[in-house]
Amino acid sequence: MPRPILAAVAIAAAAAAAPAQPPIHISFGVYSFRKPTEVWKQFQPVTLELTRLVAQQLGEKAEVELHVTQTYEACLEAFVAGEIDIVRFGPASYVLAQARNSKVQLLASEREDSRNVGLIVVREDSPITTLADLAGKRFAFGDNQSTIGRYLSQAELVQAGITAKELAPFAFLDKHDAVFKAVEIGDFDAGALHKDTFNELNETATHKLRVLHSFDNAPKAWVARAGLDKKVLKALTASLLALDNTEALKTLKVPGFQKASDSDYDTVRKGMQKAEQFAPEPKPGPSEQTVPAPAPAKGR
């Protein structure tokens, strides 16, 4: 057998015997703004599509693995510690992460158009007509790190002259759907939640809610941990901006992604600073506590 052919055979044999190159692994963190199983179902399609696009960008095998944490704080802590490669954060969570580690890197933000709105709601039959009327009333917030569920809603209350001492007992209920249910059944007089949650749950609510006040929010941020490999970072950004899979975007409930910069979140930073006036040193107690979310009604 001629030497060139022998050499080619030897190279092919060596390649066949070599262990397969493991895929580039990227961990993707999302916190539970609803039941973890529902969040997992919502983000699995986009996770699979991102895996495909990143592998295409890199020209090698890649695997994006979805992790759903129980709380906002658990996701934030794991991300800042470098235990999760990329996250999908609400604006306040991004601001908090960036404040703790300025080297975290924005990949892109979601294009949410007019959907990205926060609401303060009451029951339809409530006599409350203005934010000032909330003095002495019971208020349900979401998670204590939620942009809408805490920071921006508190900023709106402060603007109307309502702080923690003006409210009756209030609580953090962790999730937007829990806030809706708590106001619906009368455990609280008012609450803060996302417009989408309101629209979805109010359709089938036994007791309808109405919007007392609305306010704008910044888009959700997709962020990479400090020190992530530059070629992976570049591939992730390009993949998100190119992601146009209809089914994946439908389950994510956004039309697509856009370029993002840190300054996009300056208005949220200002709102978070304003919210400090609501309760300068928030300490859980009888009138401010995180309580278990009420069990969601069947069919929701």
Distance of CA 166 to the CA centre of its chain: 30
Helix, coil or strand: residue 99: helix
How many angstroms separate the Cα of 126 from the Cα of each of 59, 129, 134, 194, 262?
59, 8, 11, 20, 40
Determine the Cα–Cα distance for residues 111 and 109; give it in Å rounded to an integer: 7
Distance of CA 248 to the CA centre of its chain: 16
pLDDT digits (tens, 9 = 90+) for 116-149: 799 999 999 999 999 999 999 999 999 999 999 9
Long-range contacts of 70-73 (CB under 8 A, 24+ apart): 70/31, 70/32, 70/36, 71/31, 71/32, 71/143, 71/174, 72/31, 72/33, 72/143, 72/144, 72/145, 72/146, 73/145
Please tell me the pTM assigned to this model.
0.81
Instruction: Give the per-residue pLDDT at 8.
Output: 42
User: Quick one: DSSP state of residue 21?
Assistant: P
Average pLDDT, the chain: 88
Torsion angle defined by CA atoms of residues 63, 175, 195 and 285, in that order, rounded to the nearest 10 degrees:
-140
pLDDT digits (tens, 9 = 90+) for 222-267: 999 999 999 999 999 999 999 999 999 998 889 999 999 999 999 9
pLDDT at 86 over 90: yes
pLDDT digits (tens, 9 = 90+) for 101-110: 999 999 999 9
Domains of the chain, CATH where assigned = 24-110+220-259 (3.40.190.10), 115-217+271-290 (3.40.190.10)
How many other C-beta atoms are found inside a 10 Å radius of the C-beta of residue 127?
A: 8
Please report which confidence band the pLDDT of residue 287 belongs to, taking 50, 70 and 90 as the band edges: very low
Please name the residue ranges forming H helices in 114-226: 153-159, 176-184, 195-202
